[in-house]
Copies of this chain bind each other. A is one copy, B any other.
Amino acid sequence: MSNEHPFENIPLEEEITDLSEFFKTFGDPTRLRILFFLAQGEKNVQSITEELGIQQATISHQLSTLRMLRLVSYRKEGRKVFYSLDDHHIFDILKIGIHHIQEGQR
């Protein structure tokens, strides 16, 4: 995927805006923890809360952000709500990020 030709055309204003919102969503430790946990498979809110040891309201707020930016999808089952990563892009970006970080250890 790398070392190809640059982007055919520089993205439009609107795309830049959307894209920055998209990436911004990865830019918070709590949200990243949620995403990495979801990378293990579908999880409900309670189990996320327990895993991260963070207030339930905080988790819900962040899940709301993740939903809006389409980083996660969800499914209701009774009063539980199960979240999962929205598509493979999310997984790929996390992987590349980790690689970049780990290669950069000085």
Contacts and interface: CB of A to CB of B under 8 A. Distances in A.
A81 interface: no
Given A15-B101, A89-B99, A23 B26 contact: yes
Copies of this chain, complex-wide, total 2
Interface size class, chain A: 35 or more
Given A20-B32, A22-B97, A88 B2 contact: yes
A78 to B, nearest CB: 26
Contact of A70 (B16, B18, B37, B104): B104
B28 A20 contact: yes
Given A2-B88, A87-B100, A23 B19 contact: no
A70 B70 CA distance: 27
B36 A27 contact: no
